[in-house]
Structure 1
Amino acid sequence: MKGLITKSTGSWYQVLEYETGKFFEARIRGKFKLIKTRLTNPLAVGDLVEFSLEQDDVAWITKIEPRKNYLIRKAVNLSKEAHIIASNIDIACFIFTLKHPETSYGFLDRFLSCCEAYNIKPLILFNKMDVLSEEEKELTKEIEGLYQNIGYETLEISSYSNLNLEVLKSIIKDKVSVFFGHSGSGKSTLVNAMQPGVNIKTSAISETHLKGKHTTTFAQMHFWKFGGSVIDTPGVREFAMIDVEKEEIQHYFPEIFKTGRKCKFHNCMHINEPKCAVLEAVESGEIEETRYITYLKIMEEAEENSAQ
């Protein structure tokens, strides 16, 4: 039997069987867990699998189909390990909030670089537009312009005023999407606003630290009535790339890769080399400094991982 992983709690899975549309509680065999990998979880929501049924309709997953892509986060306290957040994604939506909470540029840029690395289409959603002052809206426009110039698609939204929610529906219709953002950025509220009745648990922002409380504790796929699905995920603090060489990282920053073609040396890493077009572009403001800083940090991490 063939199916789709629609929920993962870490110890068991929910599988949707294609032919009947029935959901089964599923486990994996011990030998399945022993596959050598740098990933802490062998299966993720979005995976296509084969399974067999035993007594009491308990499914045993026997095979996983090759993934077309996936997004991963760093595993807690394990520098070389990573955890698959979701797989086989058509479009990954990053929810950016200017305040309540404030989204860090580094977090967004890591997300975008991971989308580039694993061939996933990203969409930047500027959320909570209804709570912004005119000055803050202007700043949002500037940030949008920066990422649009690189080539990324953006959309201003609000779950409370329904700003552009119909436009968002048309973009993700009939696709497997996933929403990311800092805890409190409004991921679950957005899903509930787009399809009342889903009732994903939400939580207020912590007044003390203006940070969101984690409300989603496991990944789960929800199906849109207008077509397609969304994978709701636990709050992700940091995205990761595994098995990536230092030399490859510039490929995942489109403006750095494009500008790098003008460097004097074809193998320029854009760190401190002479006549580096990227360094000149950062100096002149043509390349945003915050993105270049993230690039350097990912380069350092790749070097540390290769040395371990």
Structure 2
Amino acid sequence: MESVFSGVVVRATGSWYEVLAGGGRLRCRIRGRLRLKGVRSTSPVVVGDRVSCESDANGDHAIVAVEPRRNYVIRRASNLSKESHIIAANVDQALLMVTLRHPETPPEFVDRFLVTCEAYKVPATILLSKSDLQDSGELAAFRAVYEGAGYPVLTVSAATGEGMEAVGELLRGRTTLVSGNSGVGKSTLVGTIDPTLDIRTGELSESHGKGRHTTTFSTMYPLAGGGAVIDTPGIKGFGLIDIGEGELWHYFPEMMRTGRDCRFYNCTHTHEPGCAVTEAVMRGEIAPMRYESYLKMLDDDDKYRK
């Protein structure tokens, strides 16, 4: 006889899923029919999902349904792919960890991640990581750009302890996705905030100065002070999905504040006369690097919409 229970997915390996239910963790598979509902995703079940499960007489457990997600962070699975990869679901906020050196996080990656958070209603904070290894002038310039856009930016270092208390306050009582490129120190940061957690960390590759993947599978960790963090494998690229070119600018907060003053209601902010956005860029009120990211997204992602 089968029994039914519900819980939250706290670890996803692609084959097995750990579900937190009734105070314990159960190892579950997913029913095949979950994969056959026309969802073009590499991840039909993700960390943070609230799921319904069944146990059979042999003590095996299966996920049979996923409750509607209140939000999620999603990216295109690969170049020219029509599949999506949902990184995590049902989160209160996202912390995007960025390093300007050792290794360098491409600005395009930062902006694509932030656009996706805006589109799917996930509040985002930027953590400028490894501040002890960064150039102070570059840190100040980065902060000016993204604080000007409207994002909180915290400078942090697990090595010196800078910003750790502020990050701990941000995490308390919330479910938080921690994301970024490989090597930016995600696992180290989480382990520093809560030393009771067993999170594997690694060093940069000496030959390439790039990060190694130290987190193999996405995992949700409960925090001693309340709340939980979702630690994810390092992400190399971040393709947008299901964002039309006419709505892309809506997910740049600084453009949204300015775009309402454009001469034309359907302004694309690329070439039109009387465009308040391009005028703001020329005056320095919108950072040129952010505007250039917008143009590049329009150009690069056009081929995905055909």
Which TM bucket (shorter chain)? over 0.9
CA distance, structure 2, for counterparts of residue 210 and residue 100 of structure 1: 6
Match of 2:265 in 1: 266
Match of 1:170 in 2: 169
**Higher alpha-carbon deviation: 284-293 or 208-217:** 284-293
Contact 2:53 2:63 in 1 (8 A): yes
Match of 2:157 in 1: 158
SS of corresponding position for 2:53:
strand
One-letter amino acid of the counterpart of residue 9, structure 1: T
- Please give the TM-score of this superposition, normalised by the length of structure 2: 0.94
CA distance, structure 2, for counterparts of residue 141 and residue 191 of structure 1: 24
Match of 2:247 in 1: 248
CA distance, structure 2, for counterparts of residue 40 and residue 74 of structure 1: 10
Match of 1:28 in 2: 30
Q: Deviations over 1:127-175 (max 9, x none)?
A: 111223xxx2233122112211221111111111111212211111011
CA distance, structure 1, for counterparts of residue 201 and residue 169 of structure 2: 24
CA shift in 2, pair 1:59/1:78, >3 Å: farther
Unaligned runs of 5+ in 1: none
Contact 1:7 1:220 in 2 (8 A): yes
Contact 2:219 2:232 in 1 (8 A): yes
| Alignment partner of 1:120 out of 112, 119, 122 | 122
Identity of aligned residues (%): 43
Measured after TM superposition, the shift of residue 301 of structure 1 is: 4.4
Q: How does 1:1-308 map onto structure 2 within 5 Å?
A: 1-17=5-21, 20-132=22-134, 136-307=135-306
Measured after TM superposition, the shift of residue 56 of structure 1 is: 4.4
RMSD: 1.5
**Higher alpha-carbon deviation: 85-94 or 238-247:** 238-247
Measured after TM superposition, the shift of residue 108 of structure 1 is: 0.8
SS of corresponding position for 1:57:
coil
CA distance, structure 2, for counterparts of residue 190 and residue 214 of structure 1: 15
Contact 1:114 1:239 in 2 (8 A): no
- Please give the TM-score of this superposition, normalised by the length of structure 1: 0.93
One-letter amino acid of the counterpart of residue 274, structure 1: P
CA distance, structure 2, for counterparts of residue 266 and residue 7 of structure 1: 45
Q: Deviations over 1:31-81 (max 9, x none)?
A: 111011222211100000011112443211111111011111221355221
Contact 1:221 1:232 in 2 (8 A): yes
Measured after TM superposition, the shift of residue 9 of structure 1 is: 0.5
Contact 2:75 2:241 in 1 (8 A): no
* Structure 1 runs (4+) greater than 4 angstroms displaced: none
CA distance, structure 2, for counterparts of residue 303 and residue 37 of structure 1: 22
* Count of matched residue positions in the alignment of Structure 1 and Structure 2: 302
Unaligned runs of 5+ in 2: none
SS of corresponding position for 2:305:
helix
